[in-house]
Amino acid sequence: MVDIDGIRVCYGDETALDNVSLSIDKNSTCAVIGASGCGKTTLLYALAGIIRPTSGKITIDGDELNGIRKGTSLILQDYGLLPWKNVWDNIAFPLKSRDFKKDEVNARVSSTLKSLGIEEHAKKFPGELSGGQKQRVGIGRAIVLEPDLLLMDEASSALDAITKEHIQDLILSIYKENQITLVMVTHSIEEAVFLGQKIVIMDKGRIKNIMDNPWFGIDDSRDNMEFYKICLQVRRWLNEEA
Ligand SMILES: Nc1ncnc2c1ncn2[C@@H]1O[C@H](COP(=O)(O)OP(=O)(O)OP(=O)(O)O)[C@@H](O)[C@H]1O
Ligand SMILES: [Mg+2]
């Protein structure tokens, strides 16, 4: 369980998060959506323990967060791949840098490549991959650590519509197959409604609205008119004056 209690984050004179409170159940998903500059990435960095709030606190599974936490993985918007390492080594890197044994590294990298459907690209370097393949490697680097809290910043925003849906399907299947709490930041209303059990709408450093989403986790939800009605509701809230 993630409990954000009245956090404030400032960059110099600018308040990026202003008294933000939010609870996210263990093994649930939460999508955070809002206009550019409203504080989404800042919220994710605070959850990752990279940014310390100036006031308020974050508690994860009962422990107050005061730095980077072992069970948390963060996927950045630019995928964070190392260009001089091939796909296999990019995914192995987080394990090797934490002194995992060779056999364990090999087993985990193999199964991660398999579950992401990129085994055949293991020897390629990031410069030789498509956007969707790079994003899979970025996801691989995070899930190979078997986190209990996975944070994703704009996981599919750089991708075309079809690839975006494939990545969203992949994220949903990773969530369903693992005991994991997922918090994702997105610009896309459809992505928020497809992947967010809870949808948090932010505006200028504050939470404007929170919605429990009945359409979460249904594989063919995008084929259903009701799904788009929820999208319309989220759109209205986003556009509403605070
Ligand atoms: N390192 C920083 N130094 C100073 N100001 C910052 C810094 N990082 C972010 N900000 C400011 O804080 C506010 C929130 O930024 P943040 O990156 O959290 O927004 P965002 O919602 O993720 O936006 P986007 O959708 O464009 O990624 C913005 O006004 C931004 O200019
Ligand atoms: Mg951002």
CA 196/CA 114 separation, integer angstroms: 25
Q: How does pLDDT run along the chain (242 residues), one tens digit per residue?
A: 999 999 999 999 999 999 999 999 999 999 999 999 999 999 999 999 999 999 999 999 999 999 999 999 999 877 889 999 999 999 999 999 999 999 999 999 999 999 888 999 999 999 999 988 998 999 999 999 999 999 999 877 777 888 888 889 989 999 999 889 999 999 899 999 999 999 999 999 999 999 999 888 887 889 999 999 999 999 999 998 76
Which pair of tokens denotes residue 52? 């310390």
* Residue 38 CB–ligand 1 contact under 6 Å: yes
CA 147/CA 151 separation, integer angstroms: 10
Atom of ligand 1 nearest to the CA of 154: 27
Pocket test for ligand 1, best of 9, 33, 38 (most atoms within 8 A of CB): 38
Classify domain 22-41+77-239 by CATH architecture: 3-Layer(aba) Sandwich (3.40)
Which amino acid, residue 209?
N
Which amino acid, residue 119?
E
CA 52/CA 26 separation, integer angstroms: 22
Q: Can you give the pLDDT at residue 242? A: 61
Q: Can you give the pLDDT at residue 79? A: 81
Atom of ligand 1 nearest to the CA of 44: 18
* Residue 241 CB–ligand 1 contact under 6 Å: no
CA 207 vs. chain centroid, Å, equals 18
Pocket test for ligand 1, best of 14, 50, 152 (most atoms within 8 A of CB): 14
Would the pTM count as exceeding 0.75?
A: yes
Which pair of tokens denotes residue 199? 């949808």
Spatial CB neighbours of 226, under 8 Å, sequence gap ≥ 6? 215
